[in-house]
Amino acid sequence: MKTLNVAIIGQGRSGRDIHGAYFHTDTERFKVVAVVETMEDRRKRAAEEFQCDTYETYQELFGRSDIDLVVNASFSHQHAAITIDLLNHGFNVLTEKPCARTPDEVQETMDAAEKNKRMFAIFQQSRFAPYFEQVQKVLDSGVLGRIVQISINFNGYARRWDWQCCQDHMGGSLYNTGPHPMDQAIMLLNYPEGNPAVFSKMDRVNTFGDAEDYVKVILTAPDRPLIDVEISSCDAFPLYTYKIQGTRGGLKGNMTNIEWKYFIEADAPEQTLIKTPLKKDDGTPAYCSEQLSWIEDSWNVDDAGTFTNATGKLYDMVYNNLVNGEPLIVTPAQVKQQIYVINECHRQNPLDRYC
């Protein structure tokens, strides 16, 4: 099995605790040979943990020809510029989310990848989350009928005071947490013909920075279900991650448990429209109601865990692309549509900057 040499840019929570931690478990396919980090103490720790070369700036990688993949886990506002520069210097790049601030930046990155014949991939691992894959299975089965509305909630109650709550660092709930539910929403909307109509409301609630920590987004498109995405840091009673309404049933659940129920149309009581007042057998008024025979089912996550499972599957995608030439499952074109939605939400909700 071919082993890919990897360089990681950044040794923060993402670069070290997500990507670095994964590479410690998949040593047959990936080997960290270089780490880029501006902080000296983190460079020293990376050298010990990975037994690799370390650099203060990513430009110091440009003289190396033995690197198969660069993981760009820099600050969010640096993702696009660094990725484009790396692609133009002949590197394959997996960049953290958000991959860019605007759709134009995504397109510029795609153009650089095409021009240099290099891979440009985005770490949207929630596409492979077990709960999301289960939601897709239920929807694909058709048992819920025509889907009318899909609600996605990434909610909780939290206060934040780090760089990811600052607009100048591309912080805020939409750029930080938003790429996960928004990527899922874009997949379920399934509207490659164009960009969806967007309505959004953003607010600052518990944040110590100047970026939003409450977001409501409504997406619509012709002949598609309405998608309702909520990302809130002021929800003290989060009930579910997903709630889906269909013509023959529905689904609800979180990242560890999914429940759905539906009825078989052929087995339902036969009804016809009656415009005259309804009445019981004794002639008294009756309410329009019936008893449906519901079929109920459920799913629980296995011991593999949501996050670890999803990360592994995304790196399967990266490895198979670089080694076997298989197409990317999470494509830059799909993520470009996601960034369009995020960008439009910010256009509709300009917030003052003060940090």
- Against a cut of 0.85, is the pTM above it? yes
Distance from C-alpha of 343 to C-alpha of 330, rounded to nearest angstrom? 20
For CA atoms 84, 87, 91, 95, give the dihedral sign: positive
* pLDDT for the residue 261: 98
Query: What is the pLDDT at residue 303?
Result: 63
CB atoms within 10 A of CB 238: 14
Q: Going residue by residue through the chain (355 aa), what tens digit of pLDDT does each one get?
A: 899 999 999 999 999 999 999 999 999 999 999 999 999 999 999 999 999 999 999 999 998 999 999 999 999 999 999 999 999 999 999 999 999 999 999 999 999 999 999 999 999 999 999 999 999 999 999 999 999 999 999 999 999 999 899 999 999 999 999 999 999 999 999 999 999 999 999 999 999 999 999 999 999 999 999 999 999 999 999 999 999 999 999 999 999 999 999 999 999 999 999 999 999 989 899 999 999 999 999 999 876 555 678 999 999 999 999 999 999 999 999 999 999 999 999 999 999 999 8
Q: What is the CATH number of the domain that holds 138?
A: 3.30.360.10
For residues 179 and 102, membership in a common domain is answered with no
Question: By the 8 A CB rule, do 185 and 227 touch?
Answer: yes
Whether 227 and 299 map to the same domain: the answer is yes
Does 273 reside within a domain? Answer: no
pLDDT of residue 305: 58
Helix (H, G, I), strand (E, B) or coil at 227: strand
Biggest alpha carbon–alpha carbon distance for the chain: 91
Identify whether residues 136 and 230 lie together within a single domain.
yes
Whether residue 313 lies inside any domain: the answer is no
Burial class (CB within 10 angstroms; exposed 0-12, middle 13-18, buried 19+) of 314: buried
Tell me whether residue 263 is in a domain: yes
Is 298 among the domain residues? yes
Q: Are residues 342 and 206 in the same domain?
A: yes
Domain-ending residue, one of 74, 99, 123 = 123
At 80, which CATH number? 3.40.50.720
- 60 is a domain residue: yes
DSSP per position, 316-340: HHHHHHHHH-PPPSS-HHHHHHHHH
Angstrom CA distances, 118 to 71, 243, 333, stand at: 14, 39, 15
pLDDT attached to residue 226: 98
**Amino acid letter at 60?**
E
